[in-house]
Structure 1
Amino acid sequence: MAGCTNKTVHEIFQSMEYGPTASSSSATAQAWLDHHSGCLGLFINGKFVVATNRQTRPLVDSKGVQVCSTVCAVEEDVSLCAASSLNGFKSWSALHSQERAKILLRMVGVLGQNSACLSELCDLCEAPCSPSSVVRLLQYYSSWAQLRDSLLSGWTPLGVVEVVCSSECSLYSLMAKVIPALAMGNSVIIVPEHCTAPAVLLLAQLFMSAGLPAGALNVLTGSDMSLAALVTKNSSISYVAYSGNKQDGVNLCKATAGMGVPVSVSANIGGTCPFIIFETADIDSAVDAVIEAAFKKKKEINWVLLVQENVLNSVMSRLKLRMTGMKSVSLASEAARALVDAAVQEAQQQGATLIRPCEPALSNALYPPTVLCGTAPSSSCVVNPAPGPLLPLMTFRSNTEAVTVGNHSPHGHAASIWTEDLTLAHETSKSLSVGCVWVNSHSVSDPCMPVSGHKDSGTCTDGGHEGLYHYLRLSSTNPLPRSSPVSLDYASFGIAAPTTIFPDDSDPASTPKFYQQFIGGKACKSVSGGSVAVMSADGAKLMGYCPDGGRKDVRNAVEAATKVQSGWMKKNLSARAQSLYTLAKGLEAKKKDFVVCLTRQTGVSAESADNEVELSVARLNDWAALCDKVHGGTLPMPQPGSALSIADPQGVIGIVLPDKSPLLSTVTVLGAAIATGNAVVMVPSQKNPIPTITFIQVLQSSDLPAGLVNIITGSKDQLTVALANHSVIKAIWYWGTAEGCQYLQHTCTSPLKTLICQKDDDGDSEWVRCDLPFLEHKWRCAVQWKTVWIPTA
């Protein structure tokens, strides 16, 4: 092993060394690069385009050798690409689903013939990706392309989808967004990271040879991430899917705020993930796995090793033995070396001890694999890991403590747990706030596994049929209109107090009613004690006063919601459904009061008001019926084992309601949120708040836990700012102004929040619909997906 041929079997098993790797060749990839004269152009309308007077960017490997160069696109290229993509979308989406599936399957054969070139090119560019993993993506999503028209008949493709990746993002992560977007009938513009650009350009060429219509897949390369924002500005773009590190994703969200384009972020690079070893684990297998996972030369995530105290000495002794003779890992630069040195020095100052095979050289971009034993959860090597082969190690005593420490990280991408106790594995998997849990394994991926970014790891679901809905819209709705960003002072947005107009002819003899808001299960005034006037639909009559809620009211409401949400999430589904049925009965019992309320507040006829109340009762009954009907299940993995998909609630959702259909919109979004296990903080329409406030009477007579539903009245902009800046709120559903949408898209990035932003319009069609795809869409907005993988061999 490793160059030695006279070791005994016992010695080999003691050292567990890897054998020598086979020598690799790059002749095929080099020939492809030479065919392009070492300079890869843009891929537009089915062919390579090398425009004159364009800046080029060299791609250099870790040894300083130039592999090739890529062209940097300018605005003229973006316009040409967007026009090509629109034409490509018309051709591609017009094909029958079976035709799209055939082309994707044909790509499997084409890729098989060119797998050596792709593999070698990935190695040359130091962006490793197995061609077989791309083949698996094609096989899986070609089946969904075949079935889209029959199983997803209520949905239609978005149009032109822009897929962006940042540095360190793997080719697999990128193609896991490109291929499902194509399978659903969209055209795609890829803006790849520099290292993955050559492989992406090769794949685009292979797609064309497989029969993909010209323009259905285009590739634009550039000098930095600013190209992605430039592409998004084009009015042809309908959706942006980003994968990579969080900071570049945040910058993209801020740069595109107000453009009217939804941006989903998969921040799957650089986050910390817990690797938990229980006392019931197979220690040898666990240690071997953590060495393999933590000290890769190029990795997307960073691991934190959590070891139960009873087996700490056993784990440490095996780590020392296993790490003996391991070679140093090359770092990206001397600057990365400085960050690693600083992280190690800080950990030692905090009492950590080191396990490593050798001392690091005094000055170079190499560093030995290092375990930092006894680090604190607040240490910078845990919270903000340095870009090097460092593995923090912490201990825990109980399962509860392991989950607490594992959830301490702001990231929620994945976790690996090691135990022979299946009950313990199941309980721990359910409690960890991550998108994927591997039991007695690590880094298992397959396109059938739906994985959502929990906490600060993103707002997107990748994989499974659940991930397909990012690239579809309801067939009965129109595409969201594009808009231009407005000039907005984000620091002063929502500060101005609402302007109240008192009519001169109001009756002084009438005493206006003072309404209350609803926080923690109690009707109450606002913390400020102030009120705002509520006028009738024609503005001629003062109907009453509502509390002028603010930041402190939102803080109290979120605190109450957080306390009760975990218990509500664990509640029996049939009991949760019964609570919603009770809510529907309570609304029906007060039907006459709500009809009068709606006619006075909105000015609609008694017939229309009666219809809205009837629809509201039916909507709550629908949510009650769906409570235990739409959930996850087992997944058809292509390898031995069991994979489970679990629909977790988002947590605490902030909801800013529209002006139209005030009662029906309230119960629609409220039912979707609490049916899936969430708690809510709702802001009624500033123009028509009384129907939502009157609904408090129904909530008070229901058996919903106090604090599950909170209603705060006041200035919509002021309360939107408070919701956006609260770190506990995971998602915000907003109906309001263009300025409000832009503010949320720019602000809700730290931590990342899932946003549903729509401008208020004059139509009620969205709320009066009662078809299953509409309810399913609202349901999917309220959940995030987790996959648990349990191998059997």
Structure 2
Amino acid sequence: MAGSTAKTVHDIFQSMEYGPTSSSAATAQAWLDHHSRSLGLFMDGKFVCPADRQTCSLVDSKGSAVCSTVCAVDHDVSKCVSSAVIGFKAWSSLSCFERAKVLLKMGSVLGQHGQCVSEVCELSKTSCSPSTLLRLLQYYSSWAQLRDSLITDWSPLGVVAVVASDDCSLYSLMQKVVPALAMGNSVVIVPGRSSAPPALLLAQLFMEAGLPSSALSVLTGSDVSLGAKVAQNPNISYVTYSGNKQDGVTLCKATAGLGVPVSVSPCVGATCPFIIFESADIDSAVEGVMETAFKAKKEVQWVLCVQESVLDGVVSRLRLRMAAMKCVALASEGDRAQVDAALQEAQKQGATLLQPCAAPPSGTQFPPTVLCGTAPSSPCVVNPPPGPLLPLMSFRSNTEAVSLANHSPHGQAASIWTEDLTLALETAKSLSVGSVWVNSHSMSDPCLPASGHKDSGTCTDGGQEGLYQFLQPSSSSSSPPLPRSSSISMDYSNFGTATSPAVIPNGSDPASAPKSYLQFVGGKSCKSESGSSVAVQSPEGTTVLAYCPDGGRKDVRNAVEAAIKVQPGWMKKSMSARAQSLHSLAKGLEAKRRDIAASINAQTGLSLEEADKEVELSIARLSDWAACCDKIQGGAPPVPQSGFALSLPEALGVVGVVLPDNRPFLSMVTLLGAAIAMGNAVVMVPSQKHPLPALAFIQVLQSADLPAGLVNIITGSRDQLTAALANHSVLKAIWYWGNAEGCQYLQYTCTSPLKTLWLHCQKEEKDGGMDWTQLRPSHKEEMWRKAVQWKSIWIPTA
């Protein structure tokens, strides 16, 4: 037709432009109009619009107003959580079959209203496919059905608060809401601004599916401080967060000392490596780069790592594919300033720019940009700004590729491109990330567990392994949650700085003078770096039994350095080799049985017969962990797409353990066995009141078949050593038995980098109810789950 401007197929292929998309959102607009475009809170199974509340406005990608949401206040929080307690009783009292039926019905309801959900997500700038939500519901409805038969001796926590930042996607939010419901908890959602409208819509749909009213509530606000207000309510059993790290750290600090466990999944803003080996299908790899690196809205930032032999080919293909690309809209002028600053710094360090066009001098539009020859230390690599930037680095060998990829402080995910399966699997196992995609990227499925490695989270999401964050051992002898309380007014800079009581010469007969012990660092018995000692009192507190080293920050530093050197080799040992080493440790303990029992008797006041029974139980406990070494494995969960996947348990790394006063020897052996059986190294702080059994155990460690530095024992002030552990950046986890001040200090401090905390507030001579002599299978399972992190590897076949 003359004058026609319609493009031919040839024109489209030449320009590679996306086709027109439908901008109709009639269904979503009708739903918003039904609520007068003012969305209230969702509690008691219905929308509530309290009067005299501040509101937050939400705008679409064009800057037009979409709707407003109510900002909840303290009264709303109290009312909502009280209602959620009632909802928990109703929801948890249902049978597994009844809960599963509700989740399956929710899938049907979602199918009927999928168009509305999709359009509301699009208007809210948090795109989420209804099909991915449907997969979540189908997968976790099965676990709801099978909870009591496959996850025995575990029970729901109670009321769970799910908090998200403003830039968190709806899928990341629901990835925590659905499994929490499936396990029988009630949930209070505190969404970010963008995910608030779709979260409110889904809550309404859950009610249509038959979920008991108040089992799911939604509280909206202006920022993450609302999540802290929800956590302050004593009826909240657990808080889990998704979003950017900054808001996650704010939430952790605001909830420190409240006695509620908080887990963090910083799923936004992490730096992820995209590795292209010379054995890759280069065209497919470059296509993958184009699909994921230059999105207008993306949760992670990518860093491209290319093997030198194919670097020129990759760059030329990128230049060709980028030639017709247009500028991408940034979120704000502030983001533009960050992008400009990052580019200037990268160019100073020698990077060159690859752009389809010059950047406008101002405004929020910016062209897709590849920074070729970027230095690993460049700010745009370590902490990239938001925007369509792709740093590119080259490597020579496989080892160098792994080093580059692990250079980032984040450990969320990685994409590997190679046709060599052996190379792919070896690289995947060496990367410190939670998810690895081979010849693919950004693929997800709820059946795959992934833990936050390094600075990317403190919990596991996905799969059966991700369910345990919403469960607790059912037995009453289990370690209970931290006691709920108000935060203690603390000067965190002064915690652990009190000096130990001075040891004054008393002129006693040298023959009757108390024995002086040494601590154990790097496989050697040694004094503390300070050279000072502290007196160990008898159970009655009337006499001095012995003197032990007064360890401090330098001793912790030495111990961690020794543990870092040996832990990778210990983790790579075969499971049977680790089991043999633990059996050797148990055999050595048997040989020193009388000496250890005498130490327990003198230190704790237990009779020799009871002390001997404790040693016997400790030997059996080590044998239990030795037997578990080659029994706890990952698997190959079935995935809906073509290909197969692997889920692998991995060691955390170096774990700090502050031991309880109750059963000081049995608790030490139990926790030590759990940690090293899973491949970790440990830095242990014995009970400050009862350190002698642990120091006597050093003789067993010296004769055992364990690498030097794998187990380190440092004595002294518990608070001082706790502060040293908390401030050491290498430690991945801290297991703590101590006072409320110590628990609050760890929650406030262990945020940069993030550390996984297992906290217990012990009272007087008891450690909060843990019966170390009667550990049920679920208690042992809880311990080994605290000692591992999970990695998923996805390998497509077509």
TM-score, normalized by the shorter chain, greater than 0.5: yes
Q: Is residue 680–residue 708 contact of structure 1 (8 Å, CA) maintained in 2?
A: yes
What are the within-5 Å matches in structure 2 for residues 27-38 of structure 1? 27-38=26-37
Listed as ranges, the matches of 1:348-367 within 5 Å are 348-367=347-366
Cα deviation for residue 60 of structure 1 reads 1.4
Match of 1:776 in 2: 781
Please give the alpha-carbon distance, in whole angstroms, between the structure 1 residues aligned to 2:8 and 2:217: 55
1:560 aligns to what? 562
Query: RMSD of the TM alignment (CA)?
Result: 1.5
Q: Could you tell me which runs of 5 or more consecutive residues in structure 1 were left unpaired when the two chains were aligned.
A: none
Partner of 1:292: 291
Q: Which residue of 2 aligns with 1:521?
A: 523
In the alignment, the residues of structure 2 paired with residue 401 and residue 765 of structure 1 have an alpha-carbon distance, to the nearest angstrom, of 46
CA contact (8 A) 1:503 1:540 kept: no
In the alignment, the residues of structure 1 paired with residue 785 and residue 725 of structure 2 have an alpha-carbon distance, to the nearest angstrom, of: 21
Contact (CA 8 Å) 2:633, 2:649: kept in 1 or not? yes
Moved more, 770-779 or 451-460: 770-779
CA deviation profile, 1:324-374 (whole Å, cap 9, x unmatched): 111111111111111111111221222111111111212211111110101
Provide the rounded CA distance (Å) in 2 between the counterparts of 1:211 and 1:560.
56
The answer to whether the Cα contact below 8 Å between 1:450 and 1:787 also exists between their aligned partners in 2 is: yes
3-state SS of 1:31 partner: helix
Contact 2:259 2:481 in 1 (8 A): no
Note the C-alpha offset of 1:586.
Answer: 1.0
Q: Give 3-state SS (helix, strand or coil) of 2:615's partner.
A: helix
Alignment match, 1:569: 571
| Paired residues for 1:620-631 under 5 Å | 620-631=622-633
Distance across 2 between alignment mates of 1:730 and 1:194: 32
Partner of 1:536: 538
Q: 4+ runs of 1 displaced by more than 4 Å?
A: 500-509
Structure 1 residue 511 and structure 2 residue 516: aligned?
Answer: no
User: For residue 680 of structure 1, what is the amino acid of its counterpart?
Assistant: V
Q: C-alpha displacement at 1:628, in angstroms? A: 0.5
Is 1:260 matched with 2:259?
yes
Instruction: Kindly report which structure 2 residues correspond to 1:543-554, keeping only aligned pairs within 5 A, or say none.
Output: 543-554=545-556
Residue correspondence of structure 1 range 155-194 to structure 2 within 5 A: 155-194=154-193
Residues 81-160 of structure 1 correspond to what in structure 2 (within 5 A)?
81-160=80-159
- CA displacement, residues 312-333 of structure 1 (integer Å, 9 cap, x when unaligned): 1100000001111111111111
Instruction: Find the aligned partners of 1:605 and 1:258 in 2 and give their Cα distance.
Output: 38
Contact 1:516 1:547 in 2 (8 A): yes
Question: CA 1:370/1:775 → structure 2, altered by over 3 Å: closer, same or farther?
Answer: same
Matched, 1:791 2:796: yes
Whether the 8 Å CA contact 1:158–1:479 is kept in 2: the answer is no
Matched, 1:275 2:280: no
Question: Would the alpha carbon gap of residues 26 and 7 (structure 1) be closer, same or farther in structure 2, given more than 3 Å must change?
Answer: closer
Q: What is residue 215 of structure 2 aligned with on the other side?
A: 216
Q: Conserved in 2, the CA contact under 8 Å of 1:241 and 1:263?
A: yes
Q: How many angstroms apart in 2 are the aligned matches of 1:392 and 1:446?
A: 28
| Correspondence for 2:692 | 690
Residues 408-447 of structure 1 aligned to structure 2 (within 5 Å): 408-447=407-446
Instruction: Give the AA of the match of 1:252.
Output: L
1:217: how far off? 0.3
SS across alignment from 2:494? coil
Q: Which residue of 1 aligns with 2:661?
A: 659
Counterpart AA for 1:65: S
Conserved in 2, the CA contact under 8 Å of 1:502 and 1:542? Answer: no
Residue 22 of structure 1: CA displacement? 3.1
TM-score (normalised: structure 2): 0.97
Offset from partner CA, 1:482-510 (integer Å, 9 cap, x none): 12211111000000013369899998862
- Quote the residue 1:609 is aligned against: 611
Query: 2-side partners of 1:171 and 1:313: how far apart?
Result: 39
Indicate the residue corresponding to 1:68 in structure 2: 67
Q: Distance in 1 between matches of 2:18 and 2:727?
A: 53
Q: Using the alignment, how far apart are the partners of 2:414 and 2:17 within structure 1?
A: 25
- Equivalents in 2 of 1:226, 1:776: separation in Å? 34
1:373 matched to 2:378? The reply is no
**Mapped contact 1:16–1:322 kept (Cα < 8 A):** no
The one-letter code matched in structure 2 to 1:51 is P
Partner of 1:708: 710
Q: Which moved more, 1:584-593 or 1:293-302?
A: 584-593
1:12 CA drift (Å):
6.9
Per-residue deviation, residues 106-131 of structure 1 (Å, max 9, x unmatched) = 00000000000000001111110000
Distance of 2:741 and 2:528 partners within structure 1: 25
Q: Distance in 1 between matches of 2:288 and 2:138?
A: 29
Alignment equivalent of 2:489, drawn from 487, 490, 494: 487
Separation (CA, whole Å) in 2 of partners of 1:527 and 1:73: 53
Query: In the aligned structure 2, how far is the partner of 1:20 from the partner of 1:765?
Result: 62
Give the Cα–Cα distance (whole angstroms) in 1 for the partners of residues 261 and 248 of structure 2: 13
Contact 2:481 2:760 in 1 (8 A): no
Q: SS at 1:528's partner residue?
A: coil
Structure-2 change in CA distance of 1:5 and 1:684 (3 Å): same
Code of the aligned partner of 2:746: L
Instruction: Name the aligned partner's letter for residue 772 of structure 2.
Output: W
Task: Provide closer, same or farther for how the CA distance between residues 72 and 328 of structure 1 changes in structure 2, counting only shifts above 3 A.
Answer: same
Could you list the per-position Cα deviations for residues 401-422 of structure 1 after superposition, in whole angstroms to 9, with x for gaps in the alignment? 0000100000000000100011
Return the letter of the residue paired with 1:781: K
Structure 1 residues 6 and 44 mapped into 2: Cα distance closer, same or farther (>3 Å)? closer
For 2:52, what is the secondary structure of its paired residue? coil
| Alignment correspondent of 1:642 | 644
- Aligned to 1:767, the other structure's residue is in SS state coil
* Aligned-partner SS, 2:780: helix
- Give the Cα separation in 1 of the matches to 2:527 and 2:504: 22
Instruction: Calculate percent identity across the aligned residue pairs.
Output: 68
Distance in 2 separating the partners of 1:504 and 1:354:
74
* Matched length: 788
Contact 2:503 2:534 in 1 (8 A): no
1:777 CA drift (Å): 0.7
Partners in 1 of 2:507 and 2:73 — Cα distance? 61
Residues 583-622 of structure 1 aligned to structure 2 (within 5 Å): 583-622=585-624
Does the CA contact (< 8 Å) of 1:62 and 1:332 recur in 2? Answer: no
Per-residue deviation, 1:612: 1.1
Aligned to 1:52: 51
For residue 535 of structure 1, what is the amino acid of its counterpart? Answer: Q
Mapped partners of 1:706, 1:501: distance in 2 = 31
1:301 is aligned to 2:300: yes
Hey, what's the Cα distance between the residues in 1 that align with 2:271 and 2:583?
42
1:767 corresponds to 2:766 = no
Whichever residue aligns with residue 463 of structure 2, its letter is: G
Letter in 1 for 2:145: Q
Residues 182-225 of structure 1, C-alpha deviations (whole Å, 9 max, x = no match): 00000000000001100000000000110000110000000111
Provide the C-alpha distance between the structure 1 equivalents of 2:18 and 2:531, rounded to a whole number of angstroms.
Answer: 74
Q: Deviations over 1:107-165 (max 9, x none)?
A: 00000000000000011111100001000000000000001111112100000000001
Q: Which residue of 1 aligns with 2:338?
A: 339
| Cα pair 2:483 2:761 within 8 Å, conserved | no
**Which residue of the partner structure matches residue 246 of structure 1?**
245
Secondary structure of the residue that 2:618 maps to in structure 1?
A: helix
**C-alpha displacement of 1:607:** 2.6
Closer, same or farther: CA 507–602 of 1 in aligned 2, 3 Å: farther
Residues 419 and 4 of structure 1: is their aligned pair in 2 closer, same or farther, counting only changes over 3 Å? farther
> Which residue does 1:680 correspond to in 2?
682
Give the superposition deviation at 1:605.
1.9
